[in-house]
Amino acid sequence: MNVTWKPLHRPVPARATLPDSAFAFPAERKEPLTDASRVRSAVARFAQVSGVSDSERGQAFANIKAAAAYFGVTVGAKSWHDLVALRLAPPGLAQDDRGLAHPGLDEARAVIG
């Protein structure tokens, strides 16, 4: 996947005037990657972005990795699939067979047997 992200020169302009190349998802202009904090936010929110294709997720992941390297942020994920899989249950909350959190799953399992 080709990286479309490009670092900006300081000062960073307002979001509305950022070029598409400043975003993890450039076509949708979602998740600006303008500093280390924004890169960490893009990683954390990656699975929450809706209305994008798998190809766009691949592009966004490549952009996030490039921005992370530039800003010195460590991203342990090897692919965008790893970021989606990180939406796991917190300790003590039941998980389904895919590892996704479901409040009330323990109660439902108890009823079903």
pLDDT tens digits for 1-33? 789 999 988 788 888 999 999 999 999 999 999
For residue 111, pLDDT over 50 is answered with no
* Domain assignment of residue 8, yes or no: no
* Domain assignment of residue 47, yes or no: yes
Give how many domains the chain has, as a whole number: 1
Question: pLDDT (tens digit, 9 = 90+) per residue, 64-93?
Answer: 999 999 999 999 888 898 888 755 545 555
Domain of residue 65 covers: 15-87
Closest CA relative to residue 40, chosen from 24, 57, 56: 24
* Domain assignment of residue 9, yes or no: no
On whether the CB atoms of residues 101 and 88 are closer than 8 A, the answer is yes
* Domain assignment of residue 83, yes or no: yes
For residue 106, pLDDT over 80 is answered with no
